[in-house]
Amino acid sequence: METAQTGIFALGDAAHGFFEFSLKPGADIAAATTALVAVREPRSTVGGANRVLGFRPSLWSKVAPADTPPNVRDFDEIRGAGGYRMPETQADIWAWFSAASYDVVFDMGTEAIASIARYADLSREFRGWSYRHNRDLTGFEDGTENPTLDEAPEIVVIPDGPGVGGSVLLFQQWKHRPNAFTDLPEAKQESVIGRTKPDSVEFDEAKMPPDSHVSRTTLDVDGKELKIFRRNVPYGIVSDHGTLFIGFCADQMPLQRMLEQMAGIGGPRDALTFYTDALTGAYYFVPSVQALRRFCPPQDD
């Protein structure tokens, strides 16, 4: 039985570290994978950590073709209405460590960078953290419509065929323009989002602005709403901050469709994109635990 990486569903951690690596020319892809898989979370019932590893889809198809779904591809720049664009910054390997405190994340990140240094360079690193339990830095709740943990595996995990037990990840850095959104009157903020701010109640359909964030991120295909599982976290410092979008799905199509709608393809551009800027964009395939285990160092078999 193939099972998903458990860190995808590990809600509640307050400290996060995200690392994107680019392979060096001629690097042994399998050896790089083995080096990173060898970085393990602390073996403790308290104070431990969670780990999730992802790979550029075109890279994973080379290192593990039998474990690669056929319809997953790398990120391409998205061009939308009025010249709007979401950039492509695709790296080769993605690692996410999360824990109750940042010291554990720091130590695991340090080990990961050292372990893979022969094969890959660090392209980007982000430190994430929780804000007011479940709000982003706009002050609104994030992930209000997320599926419950009982429902999430059916949305996240590929159920059969190549890549079974794996998931598709969309990872983006969204930088908030200083005070652009938070200085708006609360009623205008709610109109941009499509929800009330204090209690996160979605507007009635008759009152929902067509360019609201809710409208442009709701995915309706043939009368059925498609879901994704968001694990977004804030990142940064007071003078330079934003949201890391971390979205998982068993199928890449809903993730891609969401971005296209936000960019104004087939409708109005998402109003929130006038107050926050996409600085990065990448897709990663997150293989099953068993697929990763095939790369464990010999002593760990």
Strands (E), the chain: 15-23, 49-55, 78-79, 85-86, 93-99, 120-129, 167-176, 219-221, 224-226, 229-230, 233-237, 240-249, 276-278, 282-286
- pLDDT, tens only, 145-178: 899 999 999 999 999 999 999 999 999 999 999 9
pLDDT of residue 222: 86
Check: CB of residue 243 under 8 Å from CB of residue 232: yes
C-alpha 148/C-alpha 154 separation (Å) is: 11
C-alpha 40/C-alpha 20 separation (Å) is: 17
Q: Which residue matches tokens 């009330």?
A: 196
Q: Which of 45, 36, 74, 18 is nearest to 297 (CA)?
A: 36
Q: Residue 34 in 3-state DSSP?
A: helix
H or E element at residue 252: helix 252-262
Sign of torsion, CA 159 162 166 172? Answer: negative
Residue 119 to residues 23, 123, 300, Cα–Cα distance (Å)? 6, 13, 21
pLDDT of residue 299: 61
Q: For the chain, which residues make up each domain, given as ranges?
A: 6-300
Q: Which of the 8 DSSP states describes residue 195?
A: B
Residue 207 to residues 140, 194, 211, 214, Cα–Cα distance (Å)? 19, 9, 12, 12
* pLDDT tens for the 301 residues of the chain, in order: 899 999 999 999 999 999 999 999 999 999 999 999 988 766 555 667 899 999 999 999 999 999 999 999 999 999 998 999 999 999 999 999 999 999 999 999 999 999 999 999 999 999 999 999 889 999 999 988 899 999 999 999 999 999 999 999 999 999 999 999 999 999 999 999 999 999 999 999 999 999 999 999 999 988 899 999 999 999 999 999 999 999 999 999 999 999 999 999 999 999 999 999 999 999 999 999 999 999 987 665 4
pLDDT of residue 40: 73
Model confidence, pTM: 0.96
pLDDT of residue 27: 96
pLDDT of residue 208: 98
pLDDT of residue 41: 66
C-alpha 114/C-alpha 111 separation (Å) is: 5
Neighbours of 301 (CB within 10 A): 7
Check: CB of residue 64 under 8 Å from CB of residue 72: no
Residue 204 to residues 180, 191, 195, 207, 286, Cα–Cα distance (Å)? 26, 12, 9, 5, 36
C-alpha 188/C-alpha 190 separation (Å) is: 5
264 phi and psi, to 5 degrees?
Answer: 95, 20
> Which residues, 6 or more positions from 41, have their beta carbon under 8 angstroms from its beta carbon?
48, 49, 50, 51, 97, 108
